[in-house]
């Protein structure tokens, strides 16, 4: 398939040719003498007007196409590869897959780019055709076959067979003008594809901790890149908002705030509330029985229990949103509860296609290549994470029509997600050659002792505490540099503080290899030298 630019050039040439033909036709119609008959003047005027309208329409269409192309940035290396690819094909049409090596020049005196294919072609001719030809001779033959183009001013053969390429000044000037006028624009991506990104995904009634940091930052960055490149992006937050834990939470809510249906319960610390209910669930047999009854009533959509569930979810949402506001994260919530009604049909579909086995009352599905089966129904008739993940996968593929589906989840979930993806493929929901379903795994966050990042008491670090510590340290750093003594309003100082604090936390994550664990260190993050956000922000501010 020709590249986008070539297709557009063909289209431009075709339209320009049609404009020429239409212009000639208008001129011909003006000259009545060239017509063999004497048609009425009105008829000629009508036809002339129609042709002029069509001509103007085509001119406008051509201008719009050119304007669109002008705004897209050209990849100069790709352009040169096309040009030299065509030249090598013309010079040596019998060669299969000849080497195509085009690189930026290391020294300006040798031009802007170099084509270094001649040396590789020499070796191929010697091995396949037993022809001994010098690389310089091959380079000269390639240079003679370079097609007409808008970017090359001249080429020179240097040394044993390097082709030095000098770009046309007007071509470079045009690219720079476009960059200054339109800003950085991605190349055209062709048909606009839909991308679904699943990221962040905390659990209701539990606070976001440092483990959620990486998924949230990496997922948001991926979404921004896809959006910038012109894709249609759906950002999903797969909250853990359904399941047996809600039985104990609702039972505890009923005991602690018996009038919760009429008076909104003042749950200040949801984490403490969760721990209290879990302690009672583990130690009080009567409470445990009541918690199970609450789950049944919730799943049967009893209005009082749905209200209790919604109250607990709302408290969590408000806490999550504080963090999303700090980090400038945009998400659409679609928790496990969203897929609950679909789970029955998922089980039936796997049963109808003969994939289900019964094991000690459980309904399980073995996927070829994976030793551990998926449990799609428990022995008590309840559904599992496997069922909800399969329901989510199907909805995203079949209802949302995703072309690309990315799960930004830690590496520990790799086997589980690969099993779910393979099950979706096995049942026919997608073809991996057409639809890309991928797990964007990532490593864990470590403390400066190179162990899993925890508080001194051994608890997981709360994400809100981490962000607040970042704000404090950023302000200390700004005051050390006496930024508070220059002419900055309190609002400007606050804006600088948040930019530095949250920018440093994000960049510290993104500057490491996604798959590796990384050591969390505020001292390194806030250093204004080296590969840090503080240095980047400083450089950016100077440019501005």
DSSP 156-197: EEETTTEEEEEE-HHHHHHHHHHHHHH-S-PPP-SS--EEEE
Whether residue 340 sits in one domain with residue 438: yes
Is 35 contained in some domain?
Answer: no
Instruction: For residue 8, give Cα distances in angstroms to 177, 430, 528.
Output: 21, 32, 46
Is 19 contained in some domain?
Answer: no
Q: What percent of the residues of the chain are helix, what percent strand, and what percent coil, each to the nearest 5?
A: 55, 10, 35
Taking the C-alpha atoms of residue 308 and residue 67, their distance in angstroms, rounded to an integer, is 56
- Considering just the CA atoms, what is the radius of gyration of the chain in Å? 33
Whether residue 480 sits in one domain with residue 435: no
Total domain count, the chain: 4
pLDDT score at 359: 94
Residue 159 is part of a domain; what is its CATH number? 3.30.1360.70
Whether residue 249 sits in one domain with residue 200: no
Is 369 contained in some domain?
Answer: yes
Reply yes or no on whether the pLDDT at 264 is more than 50. Answer: yes
What crossing angle do the helices spanning 303-327 and 463-480 adopt, rounded to 10°? 20
What crossing angle do the helices spanning 169-182 and 41-71 adopt, rounded to 10°? 90
Evaluate whether 168 touches 150 at the Cβ level (below 8 Å). yes
Taking the C-alpha atoms of residue 459 and residue 449, their distance in angstroms, rounded to an integer, is 15
Is 44 contained in some domain?
Answer: no
pLDDT score at 483: 80
Whether residue 351 sits in one domain with residue 225: yes
pLDDT score at 69: 53
Helix, coil or strand: residue 414: helix
| Residue where a domain terminates, one of 301, 316, 333 | 333
Evaluate whether 136 touches 163 at the Cβ level (below 8 Å). no
Whether residue 479 sits in one domain with residue 339: no
Is 181 contained in some domain?
Answer: no
| Residue where a domain terminates, one of 173, 203, 227 | 173
pLDDT score at 44: 76
Is 20 contained in some domain?
Answer: no
What is the number of residues in the chain?
544
Give the residue, 174 or 60, on which the prediction is more confident.
174
Q: Express each pLDDT in 64-99 by its tens digit.
A: 555 555 567 788 999 999 999 999 999 999 888 899
CA nearest neighbour of 259 among 306, 312, 314, 304:
304
Instruction: For residue 237, give Cα distances in angstroms to 346, 390, 408.
Output: 21, 16, 11
Domain range enclosing 396: 194-240+335-442
Taking the C-alpha atoms of residue 455 and residue 463, their distance in angstroms, rounded to an integer, is 12
Please identify which residue in the block is written with the tokens 């590869």: 81
Whether residue 348 sits in one domain with residue 228: yes
On average, the pLDDT of the chain sits at: 87
What crossing angle do the helices spanning 343-352 and 385-394 adopt, rounded to 10°? 90
| Residue where a domain terminates, one of 333, 360, 385 | 333
Evaluate whether 169 touches 145 at the Cβ level (below 8 Å). no
Give me the mean pLDDT over the 221-227 stretch: 96
Taking the C-alpha atoms of residue 506 and residue 508, their distance in angstroms, rounded to an integer, is 6
| From 33-37, 366-370, 400-404, 527-531, the region with the lowest mean pLDDT | 33-37
The secondary structure of 75-98, three-state, reads CHHHHHHHHHHHHHHHHCCCCCCC
| From 259-268, 275-284, 344-353, 503-512, the region with the lowest mean pLDDT | 259-268
Whether residue 342 sits in one domain with residue 229: yes
CA 384 to chain centroid: 29
pLDDT confidence bin for 532, thresholds 50/70/90: confident
Taking the C-alpha atoms of residue 529 and residue 531, their distance in angstroms, rounded to an integer, is 7
Q: Express each pLDDT in 118-158 by its tens digit.
A: 999 999 998 888 889 999 999 999 999 999 999 999 999 99
Is 485 contained in some domain?
Answer: yes
Whether residue 284 sits in one domain with residue 211: no
Whether residue 311 sits in one domain with residue 232: no
Burial group, residue 404, by CB count within 10 angstroms (0-12, 13-18, 19+) = middle
The structure tokens listed for 201 are 């995904």
Helix, coil or strand: residue 302: coil
pLDDT score at 68: 55
The structure tokens listed for 445 are 């966050």
Is 373 contained in some domain?
Answer: yes
pLDDT score at 2: 47
Whether residue 408 sits in one domain with residue 363: yes
Q: Express each pLDDT in 402-437 by its tens digit.
A: 999 999 999 989 999 999 999 999 999 999 999 999
Q: Express each pLDDT in 10-43 by its tens digit.
A: 656 666 677 777 777 776 766 654 555 555 677 7
Side-chain half-sphere CA neighbours of 497 within 13 A? 21
What percentage of the chain reaches a pLDDT higher than 70? 91
Number of C-beta neighbours around residue 45 at 10 A: 11
Whether residue 109 sits in one domain with residue 90: yes
Number of C-beta neighbours around residue 473 at 10 A: 18
Q: Which helix (H) or strand (E) holds 206?
A: none
Whether residue 163 sits in one domain with residue 90: yes
Reply yes or no on whether the pLDDT at 192 is more than 80. Answer: yes
The structure tokens listed for 162 are 């390097």
Burial group, residue 395, by CB count within 10 angstroms (0-12, 13-18, 19+) = middle
CA nearest neighbour of 115 among 147, 134, 93, 140:
140
Burial group, residue 108, by CB count within 10 angstroms (0-12, 13-18, 19+) = exposed
Reply yes or no on whether the pLDDT at 284 is more than 50. Answer: yes
Instruction: For residue 283, give Cα distances in angstroms to 270, 286, 302.
Output: 20, 9, 27
């Amino acid at each position: 398939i020709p590249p986008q630019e070539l297709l557009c050039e063909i289209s431009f040439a075709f339209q320009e040719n049609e404009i020429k033909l239409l212009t000639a036709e208008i001129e011909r119609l003006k000259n009545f003498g060239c017509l063999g008959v004497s048609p009425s003047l009105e008829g000629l005027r009508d036809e002339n007007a129609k042709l002029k309208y069509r001509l103007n329409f085509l001119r406008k269409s051509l201008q719009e196409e050119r304007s669109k192309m002008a705004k897209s940035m050209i990849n100069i290396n790709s352009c040169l590869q096309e040009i030299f690819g065509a030249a090598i094909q013309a010079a040596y049409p019998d060669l299969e897959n000849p080497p195509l090596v085009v690189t930026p020049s290391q020294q300006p005196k040798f031009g802007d780019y170099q084509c270094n294919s001649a040396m590789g072609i020499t070796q191929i001719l010697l091995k396949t055709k037993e022809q001994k030809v010098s690389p310089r001779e091959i380079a000269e033959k390639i240079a003679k076959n370079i097609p007409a183009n808008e970017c090359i001013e001249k080429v020179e053969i240097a040394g044993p067979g390097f082709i030095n390429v000098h770009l046309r000044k007007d071509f470079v000037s045009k690219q720079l003008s476009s960059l200054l006028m339109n800003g950085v624009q991605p190349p055209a991506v062709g048909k606009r594809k839909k991308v679904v990104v699943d990221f962040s995904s905390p659990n209701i009634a539990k606070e976001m901790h440092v483990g959620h940091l990486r998924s949230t930052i990496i997922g948001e960055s991926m979404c921004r890149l896809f959006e910038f490149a012109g894709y249609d992006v759906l950002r999903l937050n797969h909250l853990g908002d359904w399941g047996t834990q809600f039985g104990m939470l609702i039972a505890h809510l009923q005991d602690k705030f018996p009038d919760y249906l009429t008076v909104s319960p003042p749950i200040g610390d949801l984490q403490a509330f969760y721990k209290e209910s879990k302690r009672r669930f583990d130690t009080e047999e009567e409470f445990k029985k009541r918690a199970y009854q609450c789950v049944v009533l919730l799943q049967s959509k009893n209005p009082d229990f749905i209200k209790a569930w919604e109250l607990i979810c709302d408290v969590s949402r408000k806490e999550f949103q504080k963090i999303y506001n700090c980090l400038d994260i945009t998400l659409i919530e679609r928790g496990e509860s969203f897929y609950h009604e679909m789970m029955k049909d998922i089980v039936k579909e796997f049963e109808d296609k003969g994939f289900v086995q019964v094991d000690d009352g459980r309904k399980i599905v073995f996927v070829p290549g994976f030793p551990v089966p998926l449990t799609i129904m428990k022995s008590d008739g309840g559904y599992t994470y496997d069922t909800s993940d399969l329901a989510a996968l199907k909805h995203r593929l079949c209802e949302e029509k995703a072309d690309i589906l990315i799960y930004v989840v830690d590496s520990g979930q790799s086997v589980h997600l690969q099993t779910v993806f393979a099950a979706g493929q096995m049942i026919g929901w997608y073809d991996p050659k057409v639809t890309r379903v991928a797990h964007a795994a990532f490593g864990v966050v470590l403390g400066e002792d190179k162990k899993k990042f925890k508080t001194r008491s051994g608890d997981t670090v709360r994400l809100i505490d981490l962000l607040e510590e970042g704000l404090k340290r950023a302000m200390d750093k700004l005051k050390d540099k006496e930024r508070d003594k220059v002419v900055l309003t309190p609002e400007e100082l606050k804006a600088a503080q948040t930019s530095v604090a949250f920018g440093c936390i994000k960049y510290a994550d993104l500057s490491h290899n996604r798959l590796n664990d990384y050591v969390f260190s505020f001292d390194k993050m806030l250093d204004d030298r080296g590969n840090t956000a503080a240095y980047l922000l400083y450089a950016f501010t100077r440019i501005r």
